[in-house]
Amino acid sequence: MKSEAVIADFKDAFRRSVACWQSIFDEGRYGTEYAIITPEEGVVFGIQPERYAAMVALYEAYEAVKNICDMGSYDLSLCTAMRDALDLEDNTRITVEEMQTLGQVVGVTYREAFAMFYKVHFAEIRSGLIRFKDESSVEGIS
């Protein structure tokens, strides 16, 4: 499949994902843990509510393209083709720059991709999923 066709197919799948997330949010639900947003996160990361479904869909798409996690929203062969088209690595090492690259393809700004990347990153630190080398526990972090 040529890169242009891969990107077009991926954009279509992404638009469906955004619509799905928007319907979840419109119903007052939040979905998975990375989709939950606190009022403080909205302020700190400058998240516009009307753009949040696309930001969450980007995070989900990035994990699928990177072959980290598939939430069932994407055809995995399309994700592999997209990873190749964008020359992204197939591993669990994530970078904000890669997420921004994917964001540019699907219409999510650099700022929005950056905000979503670090929103999730800091949520994982607060939850104890990520620890720093000099921490024996994450007590007191909420």
Give the pLDDT confidence of 105-137 residue by residue, as tens digits. Answer: 999 999 999 999 999 988 888 877 777 778 776
For residue 116, give the nearest of 22, 42, 65, 64 by alpha carbon.
Answer: 42
* Mean model confidence pLDDT for the chain: 87
**pTM metric for this prediction:** 0.86
Six-digit token string for 32: 């998975």
Distance CA 98, CA 104 (A): 10
Q: Is 88 exposed, middle or buried (0-12, 13-18, 19+ CB in 10 A)?
A: buried
Q: According to the model, what pLDDT value does residue 142 have?
A: 47
Give the pLDDT confidence of 62-84 residue by residue, as tens digits. Answer: 999 988 876 667 888 898 899 99
